[in-house]
Structure 1
């Protein structure tokens, strides 16, 4: 099913709003006009009835009404919609002016002593469907007798006028609907042109053009945030792609080195006959290279899994001193062979994934032992506060140049810039440390000066 475009939707909404506004406005105006017309007609009927009562009350007898018929019915002459009828107490018609022969109903009568008001006007319908409005009143004559009079008006002309007004309102609403659809569609289409331009620019971005950015100079203010977000996304994609390309190149080189070593050593060994000890030494060397490859593959797989948003950690609370001593004991043999001491000074408890915590500290400790001079000591400390806990691994040695500090946690990055790796490091240890800290919502940082190089792991409070 084809989805409706945003332009059509907005144009439809504009048309619907226009119809609602015109309908409500027309309805209000129609009701106001109808009320005004009825009020004016009722005032006319009331004034006519009052005038009739005043003229008739000047007469002495009911017979005088017939004598002054022309004077009384002049009140309704000239308008075919008006009618007048007067009766005596016995019900005899004394005067009737009803050229259209409207049916006159029995109405509530206003007493001679009461003032005729607008609310005394009544409404009824003839069998033919005509609407009639009128008022009935008693009139006291000079001799004390009472006659009744009815003054009314047929409303078909008013209803015809209101019908024409309704037709005009509906015709205007229909015209407004058509205009709103057409003009709204054009206006929305023109207003959404920047969006189409943004989509066109975004569609032009390819792997070879990740440096493309969407210009934000002439976009509407409402779209500035969208353009900024898209440009920021493109910048992240460009940086991620560059890192991935560099990571792939570094990984290929680091995998090629042990493979090349194993192949070269094997070819040399097969060039001529060797003793059993020499073949054994070759196998030992190849096993070491295989272990190096295994560590590299394991580290790469860990980073790949950790980059998955669904990667889960199992955090528990544990004594920091105890875990740090356990890691130090694991590296005690390597440290003794290198003539390096390991000092642990920590207190308190930490809420984190124990296995990942050990791996992060182990990577930092292995890195520290690699660059600490013989006879010195690597120190591991931990201090906590309201904001969380910071674990520091510090080792003396040559300071790291400041330009390298910001990139130490990048994958395969080495300070010496050489791709050779005689130390056996895979170049992923510090990258793993940063990933572990990100999984915990913390951060990893480093500082280096003439006294020592210190790596800090900041764990947030639980």
Structure 2
């Protein structure tokens, strides 16, 4: 299994490697510059000596005097400089005693800055030199001159300096690593604080929030997103808790009725007609339970973002008129006028859309007073299709509007069983259906009128005109 390293360790290693690369590059640059500087000094010294030799040869120093080693030898005072003079015919005119010029004569010169420079190694030492042709007073052709010097003193200094530099780089990299570790731990301390707070988050303790103001700017967005996530989780847990409580309450009433009626019926012998009455009452309760379970399953499917089972182009006006026919008898009993204004098409599932419209119309008819009206308005606005269901009535209290689409919500806090036998899931199902179609739903209420508005995206393609 691949070993995982902490972010602090990774940052420390990267910081140390970066420091090592920079310092090693700087050390290489310094060593190269020093070597180049020593080379310039060596060649400058060799050029000075070359000018002295040019003057000596121009003065006509004889080869006999040179070979005899007279005290007046003009080349004897050039300490540390190796000199080799060669006649035009190849004979050696002068050579520094006790030095083998074979390697120097075989070295290939490099022409640089107007002169021929030599560089070679011999007997474990490094040499630099100049090769030139110098005119002599007693010769018709120039004399070949090689001036050289060993760089041992420079090499000794460079070796000592290189050792010191390596030691400094090693210590600097170590110090950089320690500083990087300290900086990484200090810089990542907000992450550790966020992690400690995240560990404290449980299902019973969702009020923890990340310290947005105390973290660096780069982490502020992450902290804000985590806070938003925790807020959503807290809200979802609250709703889940409320849903569990509501569900238990809604199931308790019909189950209690079933158990009570059955126990009473079994407490003593009764005639067949009485048993039929008890069974009929039990069937009503079971039907209510069945509707509740069916609605809950349907709502769960919608809220899990399932694809629309049968997507097609739908005429809103046609569906509304079909529902008007269905609710016509109920509307006539209360003297309620049903009106449709406008028409538009959307892409969606016909049965799901009809159920959403039916939920809104049934609620509107339930709360509309006698001789009132229910109006469905379909409009095509910029970028969306709006379907609004508006009815006359007492209106909804403003403090109830935010919870209107919650599961099992009823305005009556006593939770008395309504005559309509609804369980408070209709508007939740409607919102889920609208969301599955990519739309949204809103409500606006005032004394005398209530308006539910559904917004849907326009169809992908407009139907061809017939």
TM-score of the alignment, normalized to the shorter chain, above 0.5: yes
Contact 1:201 1:214 in 2 (8 A): yes
Distance apart, 1:129 and its partner CA: 4.6
**C-alpha distance in 2, partners of 1:432/1:116?**
90
What do residues 121-163 of structure 1 show as CA deviations (whole Å, max 9, x unaligned)? 122333x353332222222233453322211122333333333
Distance apart, 1:293 and its partner CA: 1.0
Equivalent in the alignment of 2:127: 132
Distance apart, 1:319 and its partner CA: 1.8
Structure 2 gap segments, 5+ residues each:
461-466
Equivalent in the alignment of 1:345: 341
CA separation of 1:3/1:250 partners in 2, compared to 1, >3 Å: closer, same or farther?
Answer: same
Equivalent in the alignment of 1:239: 235
| Match status 1:436 vs 2:433 | yes
Distance apart, 1:51 and its partner CA: 2.9
What do residues 63-100 of structure 1 show as CA deviations (whole Å, max 9, x unaligned)? 566688745315622x2xx2012233344433322455
| Match status 1:40 vs 2:41 | yes
What do residues 358-380 of structure 1 show as CA deviations (whole Å, max 9, x unaligned)? 22111111211211223333222
Distance apart, 1:410 and its partner CA: 1.3
**C-alpha distance in 1, partners of 2:161/2:183?**
31
* TM-score normalised by length of structure 2: 0.87
Equivalent in the alignment of 1:222: 218
Contact 2:116 2:132 in 1 (8 A): no
Contact 1:10 1:184 in 2 (8 A): yes
**C-alpha distance in 1, partners of 2:285/2:349?**
31
Q: Which among 290, 295, 306 is matched to residue 291 of structure 2?
A: 295
CA separation of 1:73/1:444 partners in 2, compared to 1, >3 Å: closer, same or farther?
Answer: same
Q: Is the deviation greater in 173-182 or in 97-106? A: 97-106
Contact 2:109 2:118 in 1 (8 A): no
CA separation of 1:278/1:106 partners in 2, compared to 1, >3 Å: closer, same or farther?
Answer: closer
CA separation of 1:70/1:384 partners in 2, compared to 1, >3 Å: closer, same or farther?
Answer: farther
Q: How does 1:392-403 map to 2 (within 5 A)?
A: 392-403=388-399
Equivalent in the alignment of 1:142: 137
What do residues 267-286 of structure 1 show as CA deviations (whole Å, max 9, x unaligned)? 44445555544443433332
Q: Cα RMSD (Å) of the superposition?
A: 2.9
**C-alpha distance in 2, partners of 1:99/1:291?**
123
CA separation of 1:458/1:210 partners in 2, compared to 1, >3 Å: closer, same or farther?
Answer: same
Contact 1:339 1:375 in 2 (8 A): yes
**C-alpha distance in 2, partners of 1:403/1:148?**
111
**C-alpha distance in 2, partners of 1:391/1:168?**
84
CA separation of 1:303/1:92 partners in 2, compared to 1, >3 Å: closer, same or farther?
Answer: same
Distance apart, 1:308 and its partner CA: 2.5
Q: Which among 439, 454, 459 is matched to residue 456 of structure 2?
A: 459
Equivalent in the alignment of 1:86: 85
**C-alpha distance in 2, partners of 1:375/1:227?**
56
Distance apart, 1:301 and its partner CA: 1.6
* TM-score normalised by length of structure 1: 0.88
Contact 1:442 1:460 in 2 (8 A): yes
| Match status 1:173 vs 2:173 | no
| Match status 1:321 vs 2:317 | yes
- Secondary structure at the residue paired with 2:452? strand
CA separation of 1:70/1:432 partners in 2, compared to 1, >3 Å: closer, same or farther?
Answer: farther
**C-alpha distance in 1, partners of 2:266/2:160?**
111
Contact 1:133 1:152 in 2 (8 A): yes
Distance apart, 1:391 and its partner CA: 0.6
| Match status 1:156 vs 2:152 | yes
Distance apart, 1:412 and its partner CA: 1.5
Distance apart, 1:408 and its partner CA: 0.8
Equivalent in the alignment of 1:76: 78
**C-alpha distance in 1, partners of 2:443/2:270?**
49
| Match status 1:424 vs 2:410 | no
- Secondary structure at the residue paired with 1:29? helix
Equivalent in the alignment of 1:6: 7
**C-alpha distance in 2, partners of 1:20/1:140?**
52
**C-alpha distance in 1, partners of 2:16/2:454?**
61
